[in-house]
Chain A
Amino acid sequence: RKEVEQDPGPFNVPEGATVAFNCTYSNSASQSFFWYRQDCRKEPKLLMSVYSSGNEDGRFTAQLNRASQYISLLIRDSKLSDSATYLCVVNVNWGKLQFGAGTQVVVTP
C-alpha cells in the first residue's frame, strides 16, 4: 500500500460548482498534513496546512479524519483559476514529507 494515495482524476467541474476529493495515508503517527497546488510546469505552492481536525480558508476547506486516516479538500464556487493538480502531503517523520501522486482538477466554463 502506498504511503499517500490520491484519486488522480481528472475531476471535471463546472464553474461555480463544488468539488471534493480525498487522500488516504498509511502512517497513523503522522501529525502534519498539507494540500499543495501545482500548476503545469510550476513549483508546488502551499494551499492549506491541517494539524487538527480541519482548516478553512475562503472557498477551500480541508478536513482530517484520523480514525479513517484520510484528509479531504473541498473547493466551493469553483473558478477557472482553480484548475490545477492538488497534491496531498503528509509528514513521515520530522524531515520527510510524503507526496501523493496528485489529483487533477479541471474547471470548465
Chain B
Amino acid sequence: DTEVTQTPKHLVMGMTNKKSLKCEQHMGHRAMYWYKQKAKKPPELMFVYSYEKLSINESVPSRFSPECPNSSLLNLHLHALQPEDSALYLCASSQVETGFNYGYTFGSGTRLTVV
C-alpha cells in the first residue's frame, strides 16, 4: 500500500461548526504532515508529527488542532474557522532518518470551504 488516504474529499462548513479531517497511511512512515494550499500558491506547512509526537507547529491558529492517535492516523480538528481558511488541506507522510528526508507522499487532499 503506497497511498495516503484523506477523508472527506470536500467539506463545506459554517464558521460555528466543528469538523475533522482524517488522514491514514499504511506505508510504515513515521512522519506525518498537514499542509494548507491556496490557489496558485505552493503548499504551506502547518504541522509535523514524528513518531506520533508533534514536533513542528508553524504558528498555526488554535482553531486548527492536530491529533495523531497512532502511527497510521492523523487528524485535523477544525473549530470556528474563518472564510479565509478555505483552501486545499493536504496530508503527507514520509520516511525519515536522522537528518534525512526521503520525500513526501501526499494524499489527494480535502477541499474545504468555510461559509
Q: Which B residues are closer than 8 A to A by beta carbons?
A: 31, 41-43, 45, 48, 50, 55-56, 88, 90, 96-109, 111
Contacts and interface: CB of A to CB of B under 8 A. Distances in A.
B49 to A, nearest CB: 9
Contact of A94 (B99, B108, B109): B99
Interface of A: 31-32, 34, 41-46, 49, 87, 89, 91, 93-97, 99-102
A100 B96 contact: no
A31 B50 contact: no
A87 B42 contact: yes
22 contacts: A32-B101, A32-B103, A42-B109, A43-B88, A43-B90, A43-B107, A87-B42, A89-B103, A91-B100, A94-B98, A94-B99, A94-B101, A95-B48, A95-B50, A95-B56, A95-B96, A95-B101, A96-B48, A97-B103, A97-B104, A100-B42, A101-B42
Interface SS, B side: strand
B42 A102 contact: yes
Given A44-B90, A46-B105, A96-B56, 9 more contacts: A32-B102, A42-B108, A44-B104, A44-B106, A49-B103, A94-B97, A94-B101, A95-B50, A97-B104
Contacts, number: 59
A49 B98 CA distance: 18
B45 to A, nearest CB: 6
B100 A49 contact: no
B56 A99 contact: no
Nearest to A88: B42
Given A87-B42, A102-B42, A43 B106 contact: yes
B50 A49 contact: no
Nearest to B55: A95
Contacts of B98: 94
Contacts of A45: 106
